[in-house]
Amino acid sequence: MSGGDVDLAAVAGLIGDRTRSRMLVALLGGREISASLLADEAGVSPSTASGHLAKLVDGDLVAARTSGRHRHYRLASAAVAEVVERLVELAPAEEIGSLRASRRAAELRVARTCYDHLAGRVGVGLMHGLLQRGHLTGGDGGYEAAAAQRDAPASPGRDLDYRLTPGGQEFLDHLGVDLPQGRRALVRYCVDWTETRHHLGGRLGRGLRDRFLEAGWLEPRTTNRALRVTAEGRAVLAEEFGLDLSPS
């Protein structure tokens, strides 16, 4: 018998472990994270973490990249991120903490840091605004059609060539954004798991985040990596990026 049933259980079982699930959630940001950091995040010893990561890689849920003596892990595909996200939503309407947890989730959905740039509705909105105003060209600001084709490795985006226009440069000056120097790509994108769309990464993403924090348009929350949009921030987002945050 058997043979026929796909290994649903294997995949789910892989996710269904406290430690591994913590790692996956940590990786939901879309960024690579080193083994030791993941161990820390999950609260286990390096050796334990290593074992779990090996399993996750073996199960094709995460992918690894070796760089010197470090090893960086990332989710293997957008499909994985989506499944994890769905599972989180299915998670028990928890008794206590339910309120707290869902509030936190809501906060994260609005704005959060993702590595060194911005994600959530604000992160996606920034990119959308730049595209719509012609400050950024290439791609489509969505996560759709061509991009969504199955074979997309959905690793941190490099395939869609976004470029900053001259007008875009002016716009950034106007906002007071200071782009960090370096060999790092100016524009890179991440798939946003709460929005299923792209948000800005690269030096541009970094510069925007820095400016938004510096100007007090966004404020870090104490608890997590969620950010609070201030009144001025709301105004800037509306005026300069055409982003209306009112519906929740």
Partner DNA sequence: CGGACGCTTCGTCCGTCAGCGAAGCGTTCT
Partner DNA sequence: AGAACGCTTCGCTGACGGACGAAGCGTCCG
Binding site for DNA (CB under 7 A): 17-19, 34-37, 44-55, 64, 67-71
Q: Using the rule CB under 8 A, is 160 a contact of a copy of itself?
A: no
- For a copy of itself, the closer of residues 96 and 231 by Cβ is 96
Whether the CB-CB separation of 73 and 64 falls below 8 Å is answered with yes
**Residue 138 binds to a copy of itself (criterion: CB under 8 A):** no
In this structure, what DSSP letter does residue 38 have? H
Nearest distance, CB of residue 57 and DNA, angstroms = 8
Task: Find out whether 129 and 242 touch, Cβ atoms under 8 Å.
Answer: yes
Q: Which stretch binds a copy of itself (CB under 8 A): 2-10, 111-119, 168-176, 200-208?
A: 2-10
Q: Is 73 exposed, middle or buried (0-12, 13-18, 19+ CB in 10 A)?
A: buried
Q: Does 37 bind a copy of itself (CB under 8 A)?
A: no
Residue 15 interacts with a copy of itself (CB under 8 A)?
Answer: yes
Token digits of residue 182 = 């370096």
Q: Which helix (H) or strand (E) holds 82?
A: helix 78-90
From residue 196 to residue 225, the character string flagging contacts with a copy of itself as x (rule: CB under 8 A) and all else as - is: xx-------------------------xx-
Q: Does 21 bind a copy of itself (CB under 8 A)?
A: yes
Both tokens of 62, joined, read: 């995460």
Estimate the crossing angle of helix 35-42 against helix 46-58, to 10 degrees. Answer: 110
Nearer to a copy of itself, 24 or 177 (CB): 24
Q: How far is the CB of 133 from DNA (least distance, A)?
A: 40
Choose between 19 and 113: whose C-beta lies nearer to DNA: 19
CA distance 205 to 17: 33
73 binds a copy of itself (CB under 8 A): no
Residue 166 has φ and ψ, to the nearest 5°, of -55, -45
Q: Is 166 in the site for a copy of itself (CB under 8 A)?
A: no
Q: Say if CB 96 and CB 36 are below 8 A apart.
A: no
Contact 63, 57 (CB under 8 A): yes
Chain contacts with a copy of itself (rule: CB under 8 A): 1-18, 20-22, 24-25, 43, 59-61, 79-80, 82-94, 96-97, 100-101, 104-105, 109, 121, 142-145, 148-155, 194-197, 223-224, 247-248
